[in-house]
Amino acid sequence: MREITHFIDGASVAGTSGRYGEVFNPNTGEVQARVALASDAEVANAVAAALRAQQTWALVNPQRRARVMFEFKRLIERDVDSLAELLSSEHGKVIADSKGDIQRGLEVIEFACGIPHLLKGEYTEGAGPGIDVYSMRQPLGVCAGITPFNFPGMIPMWMFGIAIATGNTFILKPSEKDPTLPVKLAELMMEAGAPSGVLNVVHGDKTAVDALLDHPDIRAVSFVGSSDIAQYVYSRGTAAGKRVQAMGGAKNHGLILPDADLEQATKDIIGAAYGSAGERCMALPVVVPVGKKTADEVRERVLAEIDTLKVGLSNDPAAQYGPVVSQAHKDKIAGYIGLGVEEGAELVVDGRGFSLQGYEKGFFIGPTLFDHVKPTMRTYQEEIFGPVLQIVRAETFEEAIALPSNHQYGNGVAIFTRNGRAAREFAARVNVGMVGINVPIPVPVAYHSFGGWKRSAFGDANQHGMEGVRFYTKVKTITARWPEGAVEDSAFVIPTMR
């Protein structure tokens, strides 16, 4: 069976722990490879390689580091078809969506190509008599990234693109469910001219994550995954003195005001709810129509769209979404659908019975729709992360805005309306980190920053944009003078700028 190995110090390294994880083909349900799970010692080897590489990488001038990013971008574009196929074969998302996954990561690499400009410091001439003050941003050292299964291209690139461009070296611990693409990215980074040890990939589970969190030579950890693990990573990493940003789960709401273009809003919601089988932290699994008339019309339109929706193999160009990532995840989603019925929500469309002829063991779930979901229900309060859309009816704008604002998660939210004033008020008041106005999936562009609020993110720094540059650098401020003439007396009071 194919074995997915670590990538350390510029070379493929077989696992020595004796522990392996299974990597499935979600279309067939079969195991297609096994992935080595790292021990503490293997993580320590990767950190040692990254530490050695960092001494010289930090001294490479920013323009040259940017050239590596330009070349990396060219190589990804050269190989995008095979990379997307690979991504789909382990994740299950359709190939066009895998290309989007890779493209959104590449946009962060494009941002990182501008790193010479982004790293420019500040300078004050004459802050005091003959005194100049300037500041510079320096790399932290060795940084680590721990990533989820659902964006194996984009999320690693969010992290290592900026970390490496700013002069750090990096250890990526990708999801053990779809680990092959991240290794390919590291190989391409070497081909692009990054020296060995600048980008390492260590596969693993909790053992590897803990080893990274505890290792004294790792200065910063970026995590994306579910909220309980995010909180754990944040607590353990910061307790070990590291800088940590940890993004968690989500339950994004799409409000539809009565004046919205309902045809467009429904199409937007369908794509955002069921695309990638709902396995996106910026999916839109909750729709909140305001008023009964809006709700009834949205429901009818959603039903009509579901009728034409095609679920299929991840490599079927006609399919709109493919299987979910694993049998365990499929069972979890099916469990939530059962719970929704028990809780008293109306199950309008049930995707549990869906099966594809010849692929009966594939991890498929059909589009599922609930109406009359109540905020007190567990299926509303928790993240399902599957192709399940819930309609929560609201009578008024106030009732509607309170739903995402009071929810435990605060990643993304969208409002559909033709009323600019209502949209503006909504954006200002809603207690959520990323807002879309007639935009169903408001993932910010690479030069802005990505991050949710409440239990969707732990730590202060967002991903990419200037927040990313700040996260992966520390500021040094220099106060300089060049005395001449008579020797001055010692000063025993704190110097001030009078």
Q: How far is the CB of 143 from ligand NAD (least distance, A)?
A: 15
3-state secondary structure of 6: strand
**Quick one: which segment of 57-65, 202-210, 331-339, 360-368 binds ligand NAD (CB under 6 A)?**
202-210
Count other C-beta atoms under 10 Å from residue 415's C-beta. 30
**CA 74 to centroid of chain Cα atoms:** 23
Question: Which C-beta is closer to ligand NAD: that of 173 or that of 184?
Answer: 173
**CA 339 to centroid of chain Cα atoms:** 28
Residue 277 per-residue DSSP state:
G
Find the binder of ligand NAD among 153, 197, 248, 367 (CB under 6 A).
Answer: 248
**Do residues 455 and 409 lie in contact, with contact meaning Cβ atoms separated by under 8 Å?**
yes
CA–CA gap between residue 376 and residue 411 (Å, rounded): 20
Residue 438 per-residue DSSP state:
S
Binding status of residue 159 toward ligand NAD by CB under 6 A: no
Binding status of residue 322 toward ligand NAD by CB under 6 A: no
**Quick one: which segment of 146-154, 186-194, 254-262, 312-320 binds ligand NAD (CB under 6 A)?**
146-154
How many residues comprise the chain? 498
* H or E element that contains 253: strand 253-256
* H or E element that contains 31: strand 30-36
Residues numbered 402-421 forming contacts with ligand NAD, rule: CB under 6 A: 411
**Quick one: which segment of 81-89, 183-191, 204-212, 390-398 binds ligand NAD (CB under 6 A)?**
204-212
Binding status of residue 148 toward ligand NAD by CB under 6 A: yes
3-state secondary structure of 244: strand
Binding status of residue 326 toward ligand NAD by CB under 6 A: no
Q: How far is the CB of 367 from ligand NAD (least distance, A)?
A: 19
DSSP β-bridge partners for residue 414 = 254, 436
Question: Which C-beta is closer to ligand NAD: that of 67 or that of 332?
Answer: 332
Residue 236 CB contacts under 8 Å (≥ 6 apart), including other chains: 210, 213, 214
Burial of 193 (0-12, 13-18, 19+ CB in 10 A): middle
How many residues of this chain bind ligand NAD (CB under 6 A)?
A: 26
Find the binder of ligand NAD among 50, 183, 211, 281 (CB under 6 A).
Answer: 281
Question: Which C-beta is closer to ligand NAD: that of 370 or that of 385?
Answer: 385
Question: Which C-beta is closer to ligand NAD: that of 169 or that of 411?
Answer: 411
Binding status of residue 149 toward ligand NAD by CB under 6 A: yes
Q: How far is the CB of 294 from ligand NAD (least distance, A)?
A: 28
Binding status of residue 465 toward ligand NAD by CB under 6 A: no
Residues numbered 43-72 forming contacts with ligand NAD, rule: CB under 6 A: none
Vertex 300: Cα angle to 325 and 407 (nearest 5): 55
Residue 440 CB contacts under 8 Å (≥ 6 apart), including other chains: 254, 268, 269, 271, 272, 284, 414
**For residue 125, what are its two tokens?**
């001439």
Binding status of residue 385 toward ligand NAD by CB under 6 A: yes
Q: How far is the CB of 325 from ligand NAD (least distance, A)?
A: 8
Binding status of residue 247 toward ligand NAD by CB under 6 A: yes
Question: 3-state DSSP: the chain helix, strand, coil percent, rounded to 5?
Answer: 40, 25, 40
Q: How far is the CB of 260 from ligand NAD (least distance, A)?
A: 26
What is the residue whose two structure tokens read 């050239």?
67
Residue whose Cβ sits closest to ligand NAD: 225
Binding status of residue 21 toward ligand NAD by CB under 6 A: no
**Catalytic entry in 46, 53, 188, 281:** 281
Binding status of residue 387 toward ligand NAD by CB under 6 A: no
Question: Which C-beta is closer to ligand NAD: that of 105 or that of 452?
Answer: 452
Q: How far is the CB of 366 from ligand NAD (least distance, A)?
A: 21
Burial of 497 (0-12, 13-18, 19+ CB in 10 A): exposed
Find the binder of ligand NAD among 12, 17, 226, 438 (CB under 6 A).
Answer: 226
Question: CA of 257: how far to CAs of 201, 215, 388, in Å?
Answer: 46, 51, 22
Residues numbered 172-191 forming contacts with ligand NAD, rule: CB under 6 A: 173, 175-176
CA–CA gap between residue 40 and residue 232 (Å, rounded): 18
Phi, psi of 330 (to 5 degrees): -60, -45
Find the binder of ligand NAD among 224, 356, 369, 413 (CB under 6 A).
Answer: 224
Q: Is 143 a catalytic residue?
A: no
Question: Which C-beta is closer to ligand NAD: that of 203 or that of 393?
Answer: 203
Q: How far is the CB of 94 from ligand NAD (least distance, A)?
A: 18
Binding status of residue 268 toward ligand NAD by CB under 6 A: no
Q: How far is the CB of 232 from ligand NAD (least distance, A)?
A: 6
**For residue 363, what are its two tokens?**
């991890």
3-state secondary structure of 405: helix
Binding status of residue 429 toward ligand NAD by CB under 6 A: no
Burial of 59 (0-12, 13-18, 19+ CB in 10 A): exposed
Which residues are near ligand NAD by CB under 6 A? 146-151, 173, 175-176, 205-206, 209, 224-226, 229, 247-250, 281, 383, 385, 411, 452, 456
Query: Which residues does the annotation mark as catalytic?
Result: 281
